[in-house]
Each structure stands twice: as C-alpha cells, then as structure tokens.
C-alpha cells in the first residue's frame, strides 16, 4: 500500500541519514547525495569549516570544544542554519549528524515549517551493537587511535541509543523512516537505500 500522505512531489528530496557510529553513515551520505544530486551536509564537516575559516560561529564552537564542553543544540543549529541557507540546498539536501536528539528535531521543524518544507525520508542504517564495536575498534587499531578503547566506543554507542534513537519514533509517526540493513558491501547498502527512496517516488539524478 502506498503511503500517499508522504508521496513525493518530484522535486529534489530533503533527507536525513541516521545510524550509530561505525554504521558507515558518512560514506553512504556522500554516495546518496551524489546519486540524488543534493549536497550531503555533515554537521562535523560544517563545524570544521567554520573553525578553519575563523567565522564568528566557528570561534564560538572552537571555544566550547576547547573548554571540553558539548556544543549546545542552539549553537549547533545556528551553524547548520547558516549552511541550509546557502544556495545549493534550495533543491534538497541530506543531513548527516543532525538532529541528534529531540530538541534538535524541534529546531529543524521550526526552520522547515515556515518555509513550507519537510523531511521526505529518514534513512536509518541498522547495525548491531557488536558489529559497530568490532568496526570501530578495528578502525581505531588501523589508525593508531589508542584512546578509542572498547569502553569509550561502547559509551558513545550508549549515548546514541539514549539520545538519538528516540527521534526515530517522531519520524516513524510521520511515516518517513526507512530501516536499511547496514551490513554488507558498500555497494549493497547503497543499493538498498536507493531502492527504498525510489519506492517513495524519489528519483535519482539522470545520468549525463
């Protein structure tokens, strides 16, 4: 049965990609952005660009991070809103790393609703906790990141489960969550995501 309440109107999509650390979210975000012709916007990358460019927002973020504090939801959104107001997002975007919690869902809604816009689909990469820990410990070993112990990684995953997973209930109520098996080759996972989006009537960019 087609969910006509969320049938796509043919324009470029506004997407979220969500998943625990080690789910391959960043890699898949870049691939999906390219396939559907929309910018993949990583909160972490946007932070780094502002810090490197020494913008007002970047200096605020840098000060918070250097104090060892977490960047507030409001400041995170200020940085993101600046990015969403750039010209290349007018025809859609894919957000990676935002919203991370229920407060950020409200901030994003508060930005989109007055513009008569909405998120079209939320891609959730489903990866078992054991798989995430295995991938992250292997990556830490390969990159010589000795501070990324199994305990630290498990704690990060607990934060994801406690703070980020609840946002999925909000989006499930809106009928826009696509749960994707995140285990397998990069190509296999990408194919699953593309198939789910196309089933919603979201069309990929035609090859030149």
Residues with catalytic function? 25, 100, 139, 145, 156
Q: What value, to the nearest 5°, has the Cα angle with vertex 92 and ends 171 and 71?
A: 65
Q: Report which of 132, 57, 40 is spatially closest to residue 95, judged by C-alpha positions.
A: 40
DSSP string, 105-156: HHHHHHHHGGGT----EEEEEE--HHHHHHHHHHHHHHTT-TT--HHHHHHH
Strand order in the sheet with 40-42: 40-42, 93-96, 14-18, 121-126, 177-181
């Amino acid at each position: 049965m087609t969910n006509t309440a969320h049938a796509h109107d043919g324009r470029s999509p506004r997407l979220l990609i969500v998943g625990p650390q080690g789910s391959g979210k960043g890699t898949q975000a870049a691939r999906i952005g390219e396939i559907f012709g929309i910018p993949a916007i990583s909160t972490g990358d946007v932070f780094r660009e502002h810090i490197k460019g020494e913008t007002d927002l970047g200096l605020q973020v840098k000060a918070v991070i250097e104090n060892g504090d977490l960047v507030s939801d409001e400041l995170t959104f200020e940085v993101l809103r600046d990015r969403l107001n750039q010209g290349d997002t007018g025809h859609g975007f894919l957000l990676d790393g935002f919203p991370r919690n229920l407060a950020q869902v409200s901030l994003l809604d508060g930005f989109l609703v007055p513009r008569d816009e909405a998120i079209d689909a939320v891609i959730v990469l489903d990866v078992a906790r054991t798989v995430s820990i295995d991938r992250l410990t292997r990556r830490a070993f390969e990159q010589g990141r000795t501070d990324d112990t199994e305990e630290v990684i498990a704690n990060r995953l607990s934060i994801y489960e406690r703070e980020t997973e609840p946002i999925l209930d909000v989006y499930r109520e809106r009928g826009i969550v696509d749960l994707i098996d995140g285990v397998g080759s990069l190509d296999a996972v990408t194919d699953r995501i593309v198939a789910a989006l196309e089933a919603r009537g979201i069309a990929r960019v035609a090859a030149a």
